[in-house]
């Protein structure tokens, strides 16, 4: 970390950083991959999985599509107070900064550092991500349409659904009905199921992950200004596509930030969660998906456009055990090879696309494929044949069969209550 050098010059209280002033300006380090900032990553496509075909066989047709989209890049949430405090510290110290000799990557501080981040709201970058994804979607599925769009009631998600709508429907967007899950007459909805689960608390995860960070990153990240600078990197990117702060950190520090957020999200939605609410909450979506794919209520539509949060998507993967690590992620070191990897699974504007397709010859009966951030996410839990593996898909029949667990959970039953009711 180079920031302590500066803070030292500013006579900030730095006793805990003295061991870290090892910055060698001549060291030739490759820049950190800024797509790897966990759930704060800017949208990027996932890499194709080696050995899995990118396209379906030419005799296949996609008959039904269910989209679950995360909102686009947004302003900070609980992190905002750290960024604001950093801005204040730097502002108060502007004279000392003016006199100081700063390494190249911190010279931007001479001009002062201002922050215009708007907490919680969709950014301009986020707006563009959603519009582009709407247009991409229309190009990819030119024959499918709908007249209703469903979203979480949170403003940035509503806004995201509208920008997507402009890209997808063009001028016809005015004829489309935009609905939020609050307007549905259901005891629990499949986009924000945690709202119907009183025992479930996101706050627990936050506290735990922060404690982990200050304990194991080798620096005292409870130092609010350092935290602020670390958060300023992804949030400047979210708002402006660039940040002077990203280059102020060593690669291993940004990798730790990524891991910290993975731990946080794994606690909220995955294997490490208390009482394992992930699969139970995610089952609401899986049930809805199967209901639609089987047309169980005889009113299934060919296309669903739905908008939610990172947790909305991660819960679905969790319920199907598609991102489940064999053993919980360790908290005393970074496990590099892990299935739970939110940089790939739930960056800003993440898109989870479920396809039902049928083929003249290649497959018999309806098949299911998942595209997550544009690349096939192999449905390893229900694959049977060599062909299934080749295309990352599986038959609807097997898909239903392996999801028995989900189909057996219902709102207000014993399993649900054990997880959700005090
Ligand atoms: C900045 O200076 C103001 C005025 O002296 C002071 O009230 C405030 O606490 C300082 N802020 C920080 C973060 O040091
Ligand atoms: C579901 O069944 C109804 C009634 O048979 C039909 O009109 C509708 O097109 C079906 N939906 C899909 C997606 O196949
Ligand atoms: C689950 O909890 C609800 C609310 O407390 C209660 O009405 C319901 O009977 C419970 N279900 C079971 C199976 O105990």
Helix (H, G, I), strand (E, B) or coil at 390: helix
Q: Which atom of ligand 1 is nearest to the CA of 225?
A: 13
Reply yes or no on whether the pLDDT at 368 is more than 60: yes
Helix (H, G, I), strand (E, B) or coil at 61: strand
Reply yes or no on whether the pLDDT at 421 is more than 50: yes
Q: Which atom of ligand 1 is nearest to the CA of 92?
A: 1
Residues tagged active-site: 71, 310
Average pLDDT over residues 191-215: 67
Q: Closest Cα to residue 169, out of 144, 202, 201, 199?
A: 144
Provide CATH code, domain 3-7+30-51+59-420: 3.40.50.1240
Residues forming beta bridges with residue 129, ordered by sequence position? none
Closest ligand, as measured to the CA of 7: 1
Average pLDDT over residues 245-253: 90
pTM, full prediction: 0.91
Reply yes or no on whether the pLDDT at 420 is more than 70: yes
Reply yes or no on whether the pLDDT at 179 is more than 90: yes
In 148-299, DSSP assigns E strands to 148-151, 177-180
- The per-residue pLDDT for range 325-346, each reduced to its tens digit, is 988 899 889 999 999 999 999 9
Residues lining ligand 2, Cβ inside 6 A? 64, 295, 298, 300-302
Identify whether the C-beta of residue 237 lies closer than 8 Å to the C-beta of residue 34.
Answer: yes
The maximal CA–CA distance of the chain, rounded, in angstroms, is 74
Average pLDDT over residues 116-125: 97
Ligand 1 mutation pick, 88, 228, 229, max ligand atoms within 8 A of CB: 88
Q: What is the model's pLDDT at position 3?
A: 54
274 CA to centre of ligand 3 in angstroms? 21
302 CA to centre of ligand 2 in angstroms? 8
- The per-residue pLDDT for range 57-112, each reduced to its tens digit, is 999 999 999 999 999 999 999 999 999 999 998 898 888 888 888 888 889 999 99
In this structure, the chain runs to a length of: 422
Ligand 3, atom 10, lies closest to the CA of: 412
Ligand 3 mutation pick, 198, 410, 412, max ligand atoms within 8 A of CB: 412
135 CA to centre of ligand 3 in angstroms? 45
pLDDT mean across residues, the chain: 88
Reply yes or no on whether the pLDDT at 222 is more than 80: no
Average pLDDT over residues 312-330: 93
Dist CA 24 CA 195 (whole Å) = 49
Q: Which atom of ligand 1 is nearest to the CA of 91?
A: 1
- The number of beta carbons lying within 10 Å of the beta carbon of residue 404 is 8
Ligand 2, atom 2, lies closest to the CA of: 298
Ligand 2, atom 4, lies closest to the CA of: 298
Average pLDDT over residues 154-170: 98
421 CA to centre of ligand 3 in angstroms? 8
Closest ligand, as measured to the CA of 295: 2
Residues forming beta bridges with residue 375, ordered by sequence position? 372
191 CA to centre of ligand 2 in angstroms? 23
Q: Closest Cα to residue 370, out of 381, 359, 360, 384?
A: 381
Q: What percent of the chain has pLDDT over 90?
A: 72
Helix (H, G, I), strand (E, B) or coil at 305: strand
pLDDT category of residue 219 using cuts at 50, 70 and 90: very low
Q: Which atom of ligand 3 is nearest to the CA of 417?
A: 1
What's the DSSP call for residue 89? H
Residues lining ligand 1, Cβ inside 6 A? 85, 88-89, 92
Radius of gyration of the chain (CA): 23
Most confident of 247-256, 317-326, 393-402, 408-417: 393-402
297 CA to centre of ligand 2 in angstroms? 9
Reply yes or no on whether the pLDDT at 221 is more than 60: no
């Amino acid at each position: 970390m180079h920031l302590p050098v500066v803070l030292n010059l500013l006579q900030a209280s730095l006793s805990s950083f003295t061991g870290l002033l090892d910055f060698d300006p001549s060291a030739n380090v490759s820049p950190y991959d800024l797509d790897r900032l966990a759930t704060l990553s800017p949208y990027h496509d996932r890499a194709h999985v080696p050995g899995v075909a990118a396209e379906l066989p030419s005799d296949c047709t996609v008959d039904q599509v269910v989209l679950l989209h995360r909102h686009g890049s947004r302003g900070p949430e609980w992190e905002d107070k750290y960024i604001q405090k950093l801005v204040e510290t730097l502002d108060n110290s502007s004279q000392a900064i003016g006199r100081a000799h700063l390494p190249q990557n911190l010279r931007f501080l001479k001009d002062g550092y201002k922050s215009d981040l708007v907490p919680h709201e969709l950014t301009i970058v986020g707006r563009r991500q959603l519009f582009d994804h709407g247009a991409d979607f229309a190009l990819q599925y030119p024959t499918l349409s709908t007249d209703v769009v469903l979203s979480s009631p949170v403003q940035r998600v509503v806004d995201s659904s509208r920008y997507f709508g402009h890209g997808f429907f063009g001028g016809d967007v005015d004829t489309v009905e935009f609905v939020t899950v609050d307007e549905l007459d259901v005891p629990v909805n499949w986009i924000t199921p945690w709202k119907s689960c009183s025992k479930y608390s996101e706050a627990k995860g936050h506290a735990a992950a922060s404690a982990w960070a200050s304990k194991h990153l080798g620096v005292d990240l409870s130092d609010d200004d350092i935290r602020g600078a670390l958060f300023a990197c992804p949030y400047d990117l979210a708002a402006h596509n660039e940040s002077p702060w990203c280059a102020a950190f060593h690669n291993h520090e940004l990798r730790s930030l990524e891991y910290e957020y993975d731990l946080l999200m794994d606690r909220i939605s995955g294997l490490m969660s208390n009482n394992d609410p992930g699969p139970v909450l995610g089952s609401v979506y899986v049930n809805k998906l199967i209901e639609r794919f089987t047309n169980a209520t005889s009113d299934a539509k060919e296309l669903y456009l739905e908008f939610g949060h990172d947790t909305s998507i991660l819960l679905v993967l969790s319920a199907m055990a598609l991102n489940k690590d064999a053993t919980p992620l360790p908290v005393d070191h970074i496990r590099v090879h892990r299935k739970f990897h939110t940089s790939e699974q739930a960056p800003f504007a993440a898109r989870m696309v479920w396809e039902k397709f049928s083929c003249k010859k290649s497959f018999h009966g309806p098949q299911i494929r998942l595209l997550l951030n544009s690349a096939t996410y192999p449905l390893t839990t229900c694959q049977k044949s060599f062909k299934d593996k080749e295309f990352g898909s599986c038959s609807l029949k097997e898909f239903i069969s392996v999801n028995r667990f989900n189909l057996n959970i219902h709102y207000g039953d014993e399993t649900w209550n054990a997880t959700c009711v005090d």
